[in-house]
């Protein structure tokens, strides 16, 4: 099995370096999130997770880096271990539309897969851009590489579809919904992340999220649906 922690970190640095240089060393904004997660599905445990998000927006470009980790152990034995990396760049076509490229990598020791990676290039559109309400949709063809445990690597073409909603329901509260699906001939993956973030003080907030992921085809003795419920503290910088 790959050394997933080092692999994901090296990949993140590899992607971040050229993006940072391309923007002339401009400032990146971001969030660091630390929370307690209760999981069900292929892992039934309570654990700590760490999420990091970096964003950089210029006149024509917007770059995004996400790095998520989840680790837990019980009496010295690992009960949950997952690493997720997402890198995305948007190129603004006009005020409401953009082209984008997206790369994702996930290594979940308890999913039955050694890793799953996708690469997509497509089109996005802002359907609503109000001060308190934003809604965007994306569509893209792409490729996915999957390797189940004790099996050879599988490559397949996919259709990536996503929607992203942000709703300021109050002066200090933000409701979010992220939904995406990767439709492949062999495997279709659908994931929903519902969140509610409330500001505590200037740079510190509390966040509640519920995540559900469905994989249409999984290795033997693995479940198709994984869920996570998390309460986190979020620091913005």
Lowest mean pLDDT among 41-45, 108-112, 200-204, 221-225: 41-45
The full 3-state SS of 92-113, as one line of letters, equals ECCCCEEEEEEEEEEEECCCCE
Number of domains in the chain: 1
CA-CA-CA-CA torsion for 135, 184, 229, 114, nearest 10 degrees?
-140
pLDDT digits (tens, 9 = 90+) for 97-120: 999 999 999 998 888 888 999 999
Enter the pTM of the model.
0.84
* Tens digits of residue pLDDT in 2-25: 444 444 444 444 445 445 445 555
The domain in which residue 48 lies consists of: 4-236
CB atoms within 10 A of CB 231: 12
Rounded CA-CA distance 129/162 in Å is 17
- 163-192 pLDDT, tens digit each: 999 999 999 999 999 999 999 999 999 999
Least confident window among 15-29, 112-126, 133-147: 15-29
Pick the range with the lowest mean pLDDT from 4-8, 56-60, 206-210, 215-219.
Answer: 4-8
CA-nearest of 153, 154, 180 to 165 is 180
Q: CATH no. for residue 176?
A: 2.40.160.40
Phi, psi of 15 (to 5 degrees): -80, -40
Q: Which of 40-54, 67-81, 99-113, 178-192 has the highest mean pLDDT?
A: 178-192
Q: How far is CA 227 from CA 43, 126, 209, in A?
A: 9, 28, 10
State mean pLDDT over 51-79.
Answer: 87
Binning pLDDT at 50, 70 and 90, where does residue 49 land? confident
- pLDDT for res 133: 98
| pLDDT at residue 13, as a whole number | 46
Q: What is the rounded CA–CA span in Å between residue 9 and residue 89?
A: 19
Which pLDDT value is given to residue 149?
80
Mean pLDDT of 12-39: 67
Decide if 163 contacts 128 (C-beta within 8 A): no
Token pair recorded at residue 170: 């109050």
pLDDT of residue 47 exceeding 90? no
- Cα–Cα distance, 102 to 235 (Å, whole number): 25
Q: What is the pLDDT of residue 26?
A: 64
Q: Average pLDDT, stretch 63-70?
A: 94
């Amino acid at each position: 099995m790959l050394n997933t922690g080092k692999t994901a970190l090296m990949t993140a640095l590899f992607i971040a370096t050229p993006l940072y240089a391309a923007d002339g060393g401009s400032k990146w904004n971001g969030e660091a999130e630390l929370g307690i997660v209760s999981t069900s599905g292929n892992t039934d445990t309570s654990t700590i997770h760490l999420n990091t998000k970096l964003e950089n927006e210029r006149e024509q470009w917007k770059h995004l880096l996400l790095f998520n980790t989840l680790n837990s152990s019980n009496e010295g034995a690992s009960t949950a271990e997952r690493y997720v990396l997402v890198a995305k760049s948007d190129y603004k076509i006009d005020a409401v539309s953009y082209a984008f490229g997206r790369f994702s990598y996930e290594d979940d020791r308890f999913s039955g897969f050694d890793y799953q990676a996708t690469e997509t290039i497509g089109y996005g559109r802002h359907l609503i851009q109000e001060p308190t309400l934003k809604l965007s949709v994306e569509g893209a063809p792409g490729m996915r590489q999957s390797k189940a445990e004790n099996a050879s690597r599988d490559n397949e073409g996919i259709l990536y579809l996503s929607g992203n909603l942000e709703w300021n329901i109050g002066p200090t509260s933000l409701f979010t919904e992220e939904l995406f699906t990767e439709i492949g001939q062999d495997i279709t993956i659908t994931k929903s992340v519902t969140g509610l973030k409330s500001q505590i003080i200037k740079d510190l907030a509390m966040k509640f999220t519920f995540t559900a992921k469905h994989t249409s085809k999984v290795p033997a003795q693995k479940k198709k649906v994984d869920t996570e419920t998390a309460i986190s503290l979020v620091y913005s910088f």
